[in-house]
Structures are given as structure tokens and as C-alpha cells.
Chains A and B, each alone.
Chain A
Amino acid sequence: MIQRINTDRLKQLLKDWAEVHDVFVPDEQGRLVRFEEDGEINWNIVPVWGGLKEFIYPPRNTVAGSKEDSGKLTVVVGARDCDVRALVNVFDRIMLEKDPADTVYKNRREKIRIVTVDCSSPADTCFCTAVGGKPYCDKGFDLNLSFIGDKVLIETGTDGGQALLKGLNSKEPENDEIDRKDSIRDTSTRKVKANFDSDYKSGRFGDRISGNSEEKYWEKKSEDCMQCGGCNFCCPTCYCNVLNEQSSGREIVKVLQWDSCQFPGYARVAGGANPRKELWMRFRHRYYCKFSLMPGEFDIAGCTGCGRCIQVCPGKIDIRDTIKGLL
């Protein structure tokens, strides 16, 4: 179902939600921050930091031992298709469907409501269309917002989303408003396509990425990598974690913490063996994981084309260039 309200009414809706739920919205810099009545919200910018992943799979997450739980719902407003595709196709499948289910993830997942927003002004770094995505969401959301001028079209995706709209006085959108929504989506799609008009599935990419081949290529490409792990941490599909042992006394406490395959010690064992000793091997492994392993496991690439890794990389490494060089 699609309903129409104006943007002032949306603000009121957020206020209403914030009274009972934890509500997060994109700020001026595109970070998802706690909603405040007088805070600025930027609906256009694609969130770089504080993406949807952090709310369901926090950087540090107590998975055994005492946990605090407010019992409240978390409503994340401003997630994009690139976030949701990763959540539904990668996270939900690895954490919930593959045995054993991660019960902590499951609890958190049940308490989150995802309100997506159409991308009306994609960044120059966006390339979702090259990896099977779109600059708007058509599944996996609880509610989706399409901004057209001072109006907002709200599409309901789930019962949980419907419940958030209880008592909302809204109108049905006019046909021309639906047309405008579609036209904005088309324009965005064209813009994203122009950012990277290739398909990683074409050519020899998959073959060239596996094995120990193309050493020279990977050495060259990884020259500017500082091994900071930023690309992993902002990536909506990366879920590698390390389990930290933090027990004290007789209580067993385990904290799951994000990890990065770019760190030298990532795959090292206590005895000293390390399957990926050299930087270029770790650098290549990230691509191998995303474009060869993950498509086999999840039926989608481990890249949703969000472009965040391009934006955060201090070495200015562009994942699109690395892919292009092997097509």
C-alpha cells in the first residue's frame, strides 16, 4: 500500500515514534544519528558512516554473558537499497538460516524496523546497478519513503511497518505523483549506471580473482592500501568478526567484535602459520571473497555497489578500478 503525506507530517511522525522507540535518521554528513526534534535531517545524502549494519550487528556486541536490553524497537530511517540487499541476502542468511542461528542477532533483528529512502541524488561513488542493485528499494523494508517535492509517498512493506503508521491520516497518491516517483527513480538509475557501466560477471573476472594468479596485478593494486580495515567496516556485506573473551570471576562473557581481512593477523594461527602473509594476498582475498565466494554462498555478490569503501579509503583506492582492470 502507498500513502501520501507532506514532509511536515513526516516530521511529526518521527516525533511520535521517538516517544516510544529509538529512532535514527541521517544527519547533515549522512551519519545515522538519534532523531532530535531540532536536528537537521539530510534525506539526500547517502549515509557513509553508521549504516544500517551497525544497528543490527554492532561493532562490539556481547553475545554471551550479561546483556542490556531496553526492550524498545529501533527504527532506522534513511537506509538504502544497498544496505537492505546486504542485510536480507547476506546477514539474514548467514546469521539466521545457516545452522546454528545466532540468537543474539535474531533478537536484535526482530526489534528493528527499517525505513528505506529512495536515492534521489546518488553520489559519484554509487554503482549499485553494476552489481544487481537499484537506487531504490522494492523489498526487504518495513516502510519506504519516496520524496517528491514537499510530499512523501510511504510504501508499506510489512505488518511491522504498517503498525508504525497506525492512526496516520494520509491520502492516496495521485497518478501523477506515482509518475514523478518513478521518473526520479529512472533518473537516479541512469546517473548510477553512468558511474560504472560494467558487470563484474562479464569477462574473466571470476577466474582471474581466484587462486594465486595475477600476483603482479594485486601487488600493484594494493600499493596504496594502509590496512586500516575501513573498507570492511563501512561495507554493508562484511560481517567478519572475532570473538573476544572477556570473562571475569565465574561469569563467562564473550564479545563479538568486527574484524578486517586486511589486518595482518586475521588468518594467522597461534603457531605462526599465516595463509595470507603478504598485503597483496589479503587485498586480493577481499575481492575473491566478495566476487567469487559470496556469489556462491548467497547468490549475490558481496558488494552492493554502495561506494562507501571508495569514500572512506585513505589510499584513494577505488573498487571499480580494481574490478575494471580484471574484466
Chain B
Amino acid sequence: MPSDHIQGGFRKNTSGKRLSTMIMNDYLDLHRRASEGAFVVWIAIIVPAELFSGFENVVYGVPESHAALCAGKGAGPVLCEKAEGFGYSTDLCSYARIDIGTAFDGGKDSPTFGLPRPDLIISNNNNCSLLVKWFDVYHRAWGVPHLVLDIPFCYENQKDRDFRYIMDQFGTLISTIEEMSGQRFDRDKARESVRLSSEAMKEWKRFLGFAAHRPSGITAFDSFVQMAPILTSRGTQRLVDHYRLLADETEEQVKNGIFPVPDEKYRLLWDNIAPWHQLRKMSGRLAGLGANITSASYTYCIGALEGEYDPYEFDGNDPLAWLARLQNFSVCPHGLNLRRKAMKEVIERNAIDGVVFASNRSCKVYSLMQMDQMRYIREELGIPCVMIDVDHADVRKYSEEAAFTRLEALLEMIDA
């Protein structure tokens, strides 16, 4: 089967090429529709974007996703420095610094020319309540209303009381957009969008499932890159089509004996946000050592309930209820026990040999449980672990050699 798949990941086969086109078109479409008068919303990643499909002409941009894209394209440092020049501390999240640097300099140096100016900003506080502080910066600078969804943190599975509280807030969100945009919300359209999201997540999990094959059919780096359209095309048929193509293509490759790390000796799991500035370098160098980071908590949580792996399927009824129940589909809002539960399941499913805990200065919510999580994985599950220092988007805070000294030590521990 023809494939441009280089060792260590990055499938530049049909789905890889389609991904680039899709992301480019999503951003172009966002700018175009905004310029033609669409109601523009900026959202945090967990905000239920499917709801916007219930309106005639509402488009959304995701500052975190935009910042990750900038970091992946090498624009992180220059944009961070701009924000620092505006007085924002180097200790602040690098996503925030990149995005503030972009927004306050007219989109210069951003591969997408930034995002179109919003009419409404919506954040939530379960993934990270600093998002609220970050989005407040724009709210104040531009006088744009900022709506916060207050989603309680999950030390255990979502409680009914929390579910009802979230549902009430979705009602406020919908009425706010109706009032501001003059458009009516159509629940059936939102239901269709939710159905498509649910379909897409099934295909996404089918794709991730090839990490269980030995050697693995994928790398976690593939999943990092391929998660982008979840944030730009959520709730659309093109997202379903894309993930179906991705999973089909991966299945075909596995059948034909094509693997990202053919001489795979070590199967690793990554815990934290992707190191966007290191994807190619890190995957390639690890592949040279016979190591494949096959799975990542950052991507396996998507589409699942807290502490789970399998997708949470839509039952076809109330789209708001599905979205409210799935308001914890990233790792950050999960307590330690839920994180342990999901990671244990993935370690067992995918026969993981070692876990890389990426201690990320830019994401305390993800990182500040890792030392105890690592102790549990090492002592209770008997899996070797290592912690490396990373900043997900600011390469100036990352040392490749220091990281690889530890990664190589992990491989030695696995061999021992």
C-alpha cells in the first residue's frame, strides 16, 4: 500500500493529507464566515461546540487549539515573547501567552492569522479555571461579553446534582446566544450535530484501538496531530468521514504489515498535553531507539466519560443531556482515582511497558497529580515510569537532552 509514513509517526497518507486540507479549510471558513457577518464565539475546548450547530449562523474559534497549532508550526516563542512584552509573566500558560501575543498584535506570525474577533467568549473552569482569567483579558480589552460555564471538578463520577447544574447553564448559554445574535436555537439541528460527534468518537476510538496491536499500528504522535479537527469540525459529517478514513486506512496498514515503528521493542504511554514543538523530533528519535509512545492520556480520554476509555454513545434523545454528561472529556477535570482507573485500563489493553509523565509547567492542572499517579503505576501496577520536564508550547522551557537522558533511563528500566 503506498504510504509516505515516516518512521516514528506522521501519516502523510490520504488521511494525513486530508487533515492538512481540512484544518486549513476550517480556519479559512471561520475567517470568511466571520467577515460575512456570522456570530463569532470563542470557546474553551470543552465548551459544547455542537450547540452552535443549532443556530443558523454561529461560528466558533478555539484559542487553545490555535495556540497548539502555532506551537506546532514553530511560532510559539515569537508569540510568547510578544505577550511577555505586553507584561504577561513567563510563568503563565504558554497557550495563553501565544494566543494573547497573537490577538494583541493583529494575528501577525500566526499561521492562521489568528482568529476573527469574537462577539461572545465562553469559557469553563473544569478543564482549567485559568482559562477564565485568560479569556477575561480579551473581555476587558475588547469589551466582549464573557460567559463562564461552572463545571464542578470530578473527584468521582459526575453527580446528578452537578449534571442538573450544568444543564441549567446550557440553557443560559443558548438564551444568551439567541439574545445576542438574534438567531433561534433549533434543538433538532443540535441533536444531529451531537449524533455526528458521537459517530466521530466511535471512529476515533477505533483508530486509537490499533495501539493494542503488536507492533502498534499508530503512535500517540499521530493521535496528537489528528485530534485537531475535533476542535475545528466538531459535530459535522466531515469529521465522521475523516475519522472513518483514518481508522480504515490504519486498519489497512496493519493488515499489510506497515507500522510506524516496525522494530518496536518498547511500548510507552504519554501523560500530559502533547509537546507540540517536539512531535517530529521526539517521535523520530524514540523510533531510533525502538520505542513507540503508542498511547496518550491526552487523546484516549476524548469522547469518554471520566475514568473511562470507551466512547460514551449518544442515545438519540436529548442532545443537551449527552453534552452535559460528557462535560469532563479531558483528563484535567478528573481526580486522582479516576485518572488511575482510566490509565490502568489503557496500560492493560495496549500492553504498555513504561509510562512517560511529562511534567508540564504550563499546565498545573494536568501535572500536579503526576507524582502520586506515577507512584501508583510503578508500585501498584509494576510498570516502570519516568518524569520529564516539558512545556507544551514554549520550546524555550524544554531541554531535549535532559528529556532523552531520562527517556533512555526508562528504556533501561524496562530492559532490567
Partners in one complex: no
Which residues of B are interface residues toward A (Cβ below 8 A)? none
Which residues of A are interface residues toward B (Cβ below 8 A)? none
